[in-house]
């Protein structure tokens, strides 16, 4: 598939998800089922990554789709793409679950949070998305290694500042300084077109 | 070196990134989530960061949930209040799944009761535009600015322009202008904003480049639908 065709396909995919969200907002159960079939594997992957255990991830995923059912009318296409909106719902609920259920000794090993970044982007129709992913990866790699690692761990595993500080055995204030400086540089790298 | 400065703790963009990343805990997280509700510019910063970071999701392996999970979800769907959405459902009843896949969508936000953003959900106007030629587009009405933002999602018109029309009940089409095929178009409605009534029809037709020469639609209508309040 060439780039233009791939882009059409990505646009069609986005439009389809938007149309499904509008139908879900109208309390159309078959639309929710369709949306679930198209997105649940992605969202379940996110929930598993952050919850770190199957039962928790299943509970969170249920809550996510119930929330989609009740809140789809609030989806604003000017603010986010449909898949990012859905992924954010999954991330937020998984993080909430983790914050209230985690035990200190249950933290994921560092490797499990950093290995996945090298996984191939397997979505063939998301050409722009693949470019964005490449760009983000390059900007993260441009940070110093410990900051880059901390930011990726925060995203993939849902670690808070306090947890990251404990893992790296540095004071909380030090971890905050690393990450805030890193985020500032990351934003500049992503927005400066460089 | 300015580049190496640590942003101060209160920096809104930094706080937005911290929330989007999931770094905040307890009261800090709750406060940032509240700020999103009352501060639109902060919410926009958070959304920007979420979109910036979203490509990281692509590296997370997909994982099929167990089959019983859908049944659990389905059994809970009708627990909550169903409310005023039913009216809108009536307007769309009878659409087939195939037709729905070809829908264009218009989402319109009704005027806010006060200029101060609040946590209360604002009611919305929604129209679905049936699209016989699989042209899907989506528009959002910004009540503060009076702008209609039209986002063509799939436009297949190489030698023609897509023109947006509002048709008042019992009236003639009024042009809202040509919409770009590759990026969002902002239509300043001005005095025409009163035309976006719940019983009006919105339509998109294909016209010669530059728009209809007659002031009325001349080409095929590729999307149209009525507006309903939900």
Per-domain boundaries in chain A:
1-105, 107-194
Residues B55 and B147 in one domain: no
Is B67 in a helix, a strand, or coil?
A: coil
Q: Are residues B55 and B107 in the same domain?
A: no
B14 and A183 within 8 Å at the Cβ level: the answer is: yes
Best B6, B54, B155 residue to mutate vs chain A (most A CBs within 10 Å): B54
Q: What chain B residue is nearest to A69 in terms of C-alpha separation? A: B77
Alpha-carbon dihedral of residues B44, B10, B118, B82, nearest 10 degrees? 70
Contact state of B107 with A76 under an 8 Å Cβ cutoff: yes
Residues facing B203 on adjacent strands: B165, B224
Output the six-digit token pair for B14. Answer: 């930094």
Cβ–Cβ gap A160/B21 under 8 Å: no
With a CB cutoff of 8 Å and minimum separation 6, the contacts of A30 are B97
Helical (H) or strand (E) element with A134: helix A127-141
Per-residue pLDDT of chain B (230 residues; tens, 9 = 90+): 444 566 666 789 999 999 999 999 888 888 888 888 778 889 899 999 999 999 999 889 999 999 999 999 998 887 544 433 333 333 233 322 222 222 333 444 343 333 333 333 333 344 444 443 333 455 666 656 677 766 554 445 567 788 888 888 778 888 988 887 666 677 888 778 778 776 677 777 778 888 888 888 887 776 666 554 32
Q: Could you report the per-residue pLDDT of B93-146, keeping only the tens digit for each?
A: 332 222 222 233 344 434 333 333 333 333 334 444 444 333 345 566 665 667
Does residue B68 lie within any of the structural domains? no
Residue B78 lies in a domain: no
Which residue carries 């990343």 as its tokens?
A: B21
B69 lies in some domain: no
Residue of A nearest to B87 (CA): A26
> Do B94 and B208 belong to one domain?
yes
Specify the number of domains making up chain B.
2
B6 Cα to chain A: minimum distance (Å) = 5
Q: In this complex, do B55 and A181 lie within 8 Å of one another by their Cβ atoms?
A: no
Beta carbons of B124 and A28 less than 8 Å apart: no
Domain covering A1-105, topology: Rna Polymerase Sigma Factor; Chain: A (1.10.1740)
Residues of B in contact with A183 (CB under 8 A): 7, 14, 17-18, 21
Helix (H, G, I), strand (E, B) or coil at A21: helix
Global pTM reads 0.61
A134: number of Cβ within 10 Å: 12
Using alpha carbons, list the distances in angstroms from residue B93 to A186, B21, B79, B97.
47, 40, 22, 11
Looking at the fold, whether B190 and B147 belong to one and the same domain comes out as yes
Closest CA to B63 of A67, A89, A132, A45: A45
Residues B159, B223, single domain; the answer is: yes
Does residue A93 sit at the B interface (CB-CB below 8 Å)? no
Domain that holds residue B48: 2-59
Whether residue B147 is contained in a domain is answered as yes
Determine contact, residues A130/A119, Cβ cutoff 8 Å: no
How does pLDDT run across A100-147, given as a tens digit for each residue?
886 544 554 444 443 333 333 344 445 677 788 889 999 999 999 999
Task: Look at residue B65 and tell me if it is in a domain.
Answer: no
Are the Cβ atoms of A181 and B24 closer than 8 angstroms?
no
Q: What fold, for A107-194?
A: Arc Repressor Mutant, subunit A (1.10.10)
Looking at chain A, which residue has its C-alpha nearest residue B106?
A22
ipTM, interface predicted TM-score of the complex: 0.84
Mean pLDDT of A147-152: 95
Q: Are B110 and B198 found together in one domain?
A: yes
Residue B77 lies in a domain: no
C-alpha span between A26 and B174 (Å, rounded)? 28
- Same domain membership, residue B188 and residue B93: yes
Number of A–B residue contacts, CB under 8 Å: 214
CB contact under 8 A, B61 and A45: yes
DSSP label at residue B7: P
User: Which chain B residues have a beta carbon less than 8 Å from that of A45?
Assistant: 60-63
Q: Distance between CA atoms of B139 and B157, rounded to whole angstroms?
A: 18
CA-to-CA distance for A48 and A112, rounded, in angstroms? 12
Whether B63 contacts chain A with CB within 8 A: yes
Asked if the Cβ–Cβ distance from A118 to B6 is below 8 Å, we say no
Residues B91 and B171 in one domain: yes
Nearest to A167 by CA among A184, A181, A146: A146
Backbone φ and ψ for B66, nearest 5 degrees, come out as -65, 150
DSSP state, B84?
Answer: T
- Find, in chain B, the residue whose alpha carbon is nearest to that of A88: B50
C-alpha span between A191 and A168 (Å, rounded): 29
Question: Cα distance from A106 to chain B (closest Cα, Å)?
Answer: 18
Whether residues B29 and B91 share a domain: the answer is no
């Amino acid at each position: 598939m060439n780039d233009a065709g791939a882009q059409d396909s990505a646009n069609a995919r986005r439009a389809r998800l938007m149309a499904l969200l509008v139908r879900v907002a109208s309390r159309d159960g078959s639309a929710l089922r369709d949306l679930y079939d198209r997105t649940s594997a992605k969202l379940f992957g996110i929930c598993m990554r952050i919850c770190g255990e199957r039962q928790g991830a299943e509970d969170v995923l249920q809550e996510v789709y119930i929330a989609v059912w009740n809140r789809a009318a609030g989806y604003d296409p000017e603010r986010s793409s449909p898949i990012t909106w859905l992924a954010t719902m999954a991330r937020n609920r998984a993080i909430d679950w983790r914050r209230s259920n985690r035990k200190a000794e249950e933290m994921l090993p560092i490797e499990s949070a950093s290995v996945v970044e090298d996984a191939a982007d397997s979505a063939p129709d998301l050409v722009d998305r693949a470019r964005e992913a490449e760009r983000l990866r390059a900007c993260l790699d441009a940070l110093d290694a410990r900051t880059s690692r901390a930011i990726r761990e925060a995203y993939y595993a849902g670690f808070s500042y306090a947890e990251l500080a404990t893992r790296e055995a540095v004071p909380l204030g030090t971890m905050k300084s690393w990450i805030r400086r890193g985020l500032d540089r990351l934003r500049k790298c992503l927005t400066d077109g460089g | 070196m300015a580049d190496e400065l640590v942003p101060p703790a209160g920096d809104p963009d930094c706080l937005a990134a911290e929330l989007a990343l999931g770094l905040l805990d307890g009261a800090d997280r709750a406060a940032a989530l509240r700020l999103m509700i009352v501060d639109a510019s902060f919410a926009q910063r958070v959304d920007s960061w979420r979109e910036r970071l979203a490509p990281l999701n692509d590296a997370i392996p997909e994982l099929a949930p167990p089959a019983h999970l859908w049944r659990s979800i389905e059994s809970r769907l009708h627990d909550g209040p169903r409310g005023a959405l039913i009216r809108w459902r009536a307007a769309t009843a009878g659409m087939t799944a195939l037709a729905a896949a070809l829908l264009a969508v218009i989402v319109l936000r009704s005027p806010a009761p006060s200029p101060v953003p609040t946590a209360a959900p604002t009611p919305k106007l929604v129209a679905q535009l049936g699209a016989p030629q699989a042209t899907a587009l989506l528009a959002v009405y910004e009540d503060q600015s009076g702008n209609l933002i039209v986002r063509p999602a799939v436009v297949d018109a190489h030698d023609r322009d897509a023109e947006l029309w509002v048709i008042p009940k019992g009236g003639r089409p009024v042009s809202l202008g040509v919409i770009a095929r590759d990026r969002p178009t902002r239509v300043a409605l001005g005095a025409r904003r009163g035309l976006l009534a719940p019983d009006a029809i919105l339509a998109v037709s294909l016209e010669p480049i530059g728009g209809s020469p007659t002031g009325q639609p001349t080409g095929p209508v590729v999307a149209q639908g009525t507006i309903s309040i939900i």
